[in-house]
Structure 1
Amino acid sequence: MKKNPFAKIDIDEVSLTRSIVIDEQALIVTIRSIGDIESPKLVVEVLSDVLLSNSSQEKLRELIGFMFDADADIESFNEMASKHNLVTLMQALTGLRIVKDPTVFESIIKTIAGQQVSVTMAGKLIQKMCENYGEKVMHNGVSYYLPPSSDMISKLHEQDLRELGFPLVRARTLIECAKLDLAGYFNNLENLSEIELEKTLCAIKGIGPWTAQMIMLLGLGKNQIVPWADKGLHRAIEVYFSLTKGSVTTQADVERYFQMLQGPRSYITYFLWENMMNYRVTQDSDL
C-alpha cells in the first residue's frame, strides 16, 4: 500500500481511494480498474455516507474521467508510436494514461511545493500542509485529507508556511495564488491557448516556465507540454536513449530528442517519466 495525504493506492486491488470535493461536499471515493489494456474500464464507488443528486453523480463521473484521461485517443497514439522511436517505451508501458490533479488549485499547491526539491521532499511539504491546514475526512478509521482551500491559504501568514518548511518566496507565491484563485484568476484557463496560458501563469511572481508547464500538463491536461527545465525529464531522456548521465541539460538538448519522438508531447513526457521510475526500481532491485 502506497500512501499520500489525498489517497491510498492498493496495488493488489488495482484501486485508488481518495478524498475529493463535488458540489462542496467532501467525499471519499474508490476508483477501481476492472478492465484490461484492450478494454479499459473504471468503476467508481462513493464510500462516504452521502446521497448524491444526479447532477453531482454526473460531475463526479466527468471529474474521474478527466483525472484518468478516459477520453484520450490511446489507439492513435499507439499507432503513431509504433512508427517512430517510441516502440520500446510503448511495449513497457502499454495502456498507461496521464493521471491528473482534480483541480487547478491542487495542482498549483503540488507544483509550488515541488519547486527545486526532490519528489520526496515535496511530498513531505504537502503532507505537512494537509495535516495542518487541510480538511481531514475519516473512513473506516483511515484519515484522508483534502488539500487546503484557497480561502484557508489566503488567510495564512508567510511564517505559517515557513514553519512547515516552505522557503519564503514559495510561501509568498502560494498565498498570492490562493488570493488570485478566490478572485477568479484561474477560472476558464482551459479556454486559453498554451502560449496564452503559460503567459497568464508566469505573470504571477514566483511562477516561472517550469511551474506553469507542470500545471498545464497535470492540472489542465494540455496535450503538447514539455517542461524543458525538468531535471527528471532530462534524466528520463538519458535513460531511454542510453545516454551518459548529465548529457541532457538544456532546452535544445530536450528538443533534439523530442524531434525523434513524434506524438502528443505531454504523453511522451509522462511516458518518459514513468519509464525512468521503472528503471530506478530495476536498478534498486539489482543492488
Structure 2
Amino acid sequence: MKPVQSTHYIEISTPADFNYEECLVHLGRSSQENLYRIKKDKVIKLLNINGERVLFQLTAVPGALRIEFPLSTPTPDEREQVVAYIEDWFDLNTDLRGFYEMAETDSVLNPVVQQYYGLRIIGVPDLFEALVWAVMGQQINLTFAYTLKKRFVESYGDSVVYEEETYWTFPHPETIAALTLEELRALQLTGRKSEYILGIASMMATGDLNKERLLEEPDMESKLLEIRGVGAWSANYVMMKCLHDASAFPLADVGLHNALKFQLNMERKPTLAEITELSTNWSGWEAYATFYLWRSLL
C-alpha cells in the first residue's frame, strides 16, 4: 500500500500484527544510544540523504506510522528514501504469519512470542553501520560496545541541533577510510578492530562492497566471511539485522545463550549442540526466534 502523504506528514501502513510499543522497548534498551532519541512515544532520527541532513520524527497512529519533518520540508526523493528506510528499519514488509504459526507449537518460543507478539526485528539498514557495529561488539559487553559507538559517531558523524539536542548520523565509509589506525585506536578500539573497520570502510568507499550486490548473492554468508574481521557470528548478525535473512542464526551469541538458559530454567548455559537440537523447529525463522529471545532479557 502506498504511503499517505500530506504537506506536513507521511503515513506508512503497518501490518495488523505490528506492535509499536514493543519495538520502542528494544529501541530504548541503551541510554548511550546516540543515533536516535525516544521522547515518550516519539522516535527522532537524523538521516544523511544524498548529502542532505534530514531529521524526522516517528509516531504511531491507528494502523500506521506517521513521519513528520520538524526542521525542513524534504524533497519528494528525500521523502521516498525516508519511507524506505523506516520500512527497512522496522521490517514492515515481512509476513510473520509463518513464524507465529511455528511458534504456537514450539515449547521454547510459545511463551515469549505470546508475551511480545507484534515485535519486529529492528534492523540496521545501513550496511556499513551494521558491519562496524558487529565488529565493535565482538568479545566485549554491550555497555562498552555502546560507549565505543558513541565515541565513533560523535567523532566522525554529521549532526544537527534540534530543540537544544544534537542528533547524529553514522559516519560515511569515505570519512573512516581516510583515517589512520592511531585515530581509531584513540577511541579505545583495539588495534585489530581498528584494522578491520578501516578495511571495511575502504571496501565500501571504493564500491567493492555494497548492500545491493550482497543481496543478490546466493550465499550471502560466504561473501561476508570473506571480509577480514567478519566471522560466523558477525556474518549472521549482519544477515539478520541488515539483509533481512530470516534464517540467519548467530548460534554463538551470548545473549541467545542467556535467554535460553532463563527460558529453560537451566543452571548453566545450553551447549551449541543443545541449541542446534532445540532450534530444529525454527527452520527459516531462526532470526526472529533469536530476536524474540533477546527481547526476553530486557
- TM category (shorter chain) comes to 0.7 to 0.9
- 1:113-124 to structure 2, matched below 5 A, reads 113-124=136-147
1:26 matched to 2:62:
no
Tell me the equivalent position of 1:169: 192
1:274 matched to 2:295:
yes
- 1:229-268 to structure 2, matched below 5 A, reads 229-246=252-269, 248-250=270-272, 252-261=273-282, 264-268=285-289
After alignment, is 124-133 or 76-85 more displaced?
76-85
Unpaired runs of at least 5, structure 2: 1-27
The Cα of 1:260 is off from its aligned counterpart by: 4.3
Describe the SS at the equivalent of 2:296: helix
2:98 alignment partner, one of 76, 92, 95: 76
Describe the SS at the equivalent of 1:176: helix
* TM-superposition CA deviations, 1:18-44 (whole Å, max 9, x none): 111223322111121223xxx4x2111
1:95 matched to 2:118:
yes
The one-letter code of the counterpart of 2:89 is M
The Cα of 1:62 is off from its aligned counterpart by: 1.4
Describe the SS at the equivalent of 2:102: helix
Tell me the equivalent position of 2:12: none
The Cα of 1:76 is off from its aligned counterpart by: 3.5
Q: Percent identity?
A: 25
Aligned length: 266
TM-score by length of 2: 0.84
Q: Does structure 2 retain, via aligned residues, the 8 Å contact 1:65–1:71? A: yes
Describe the SS at the equivalent of 1:94: coil
The one-letter code of the counterpart of 1:5 is N
Describe the SS at the equivalent of 2:297: helix
Q: Distance in 2 between matches of 1:160 and 1:116?
A: 21
The one-letter code of the counterpart of 1:272 is L
The one-letter code of the counterpart of 1:81 is A
Tell me the equivalent position of 1:189: 214
Q: Does structure 1 retain, via aligned residues, the 8 Å contact 2:54–2:74? A: no
Q: Distance in 2 between matches of 1:167 and 1:253?
A: 33
1:227 matched to 2:250:
yes
Q: Does structure 1 retain, via aligned residues, the 8 Å contact 2:221–2:236? A: yes
Q: Distance in 2 between matches of 1:245 and 1:45?
A: 47
TM-score by length of 1: 0.87
Unpaired runs of at least 5, structure 1: 278-287
1:16 matched to 2:37:
no
Structure 1's consecutive aligned runs of 4 or more residues displaced over 6 angstroms after TM superposition are none
The one-letter code of the counterpart of 1:274 is R
Q: Does structure 2 retain, via aligned residues, the 8 Å contact 1:173–1:205? A: yes
* TM-superposition CA deviations, 1:82-139 (whole Å, max 9, x none): 2332221111101100001131111112111111111100000000111111112211
The Cα of 1:263 is off from its aligned counterpart by: 5.5
Describe the SS at the equivalent of 2:207: coil
Q: Distance in 1 between matches of 2:260 and 2:53?
A: 39
Q: Distance in 2 between matches of 1:120 and 1:220?
A: 25
After alignment, is 86-95 or 70-79 more displaced?
70-79
Q: Distance in 2 between matches of 1:70 and 1:137?
A: 28
Q: Distance in 2 between matches of 1:61 and 1:93?
A: 25
1:130 alignment partner, one of 122, 139, 153: 153
Q: Does structure 2 retain, via aligned residues, the 8 Å contact 1:4–1:127? A: yes
Describe the SS at the equivalent of 1:132: helix
Q: Distance in 2 between matches of 1:47 and 1:271?
A: 33
Relative to 1, partners in 2 of residues 1:130 and 1:155: Cα closer, same or farther, differing over 3 Å?
same
Relative to 1, partners in 2 of residues 1:204 and 1:75: Cα closer, same or farther, differing over 3 Å?
closer
Q: Does structure 1 retain, via aligned residues, the 8 Å contact 2:112–2:293? A: yes
Tell me the equivalent position of 1:154: 177
The one-letter code of the counterpart of 2:69 is V
The one-letter code of the counterpart of 2:111 is T
Q: Does structure 2 retain, via aligned residues, the 8 Å contact 1:223–1:267? A: yes
- 1:194-205 to structure 2, matched below 5 A, reads 196-205=219-228
Relative to 1, partners in 2 of residues 1:254 and 1:139: Cα closer, same or farther, differing over 3 Å?
same
Describe the SS at the equivalent of 1:27: strand
Please give the root-mean-square deviation of Cα atoms over the aligned residues, in Å. 1.7
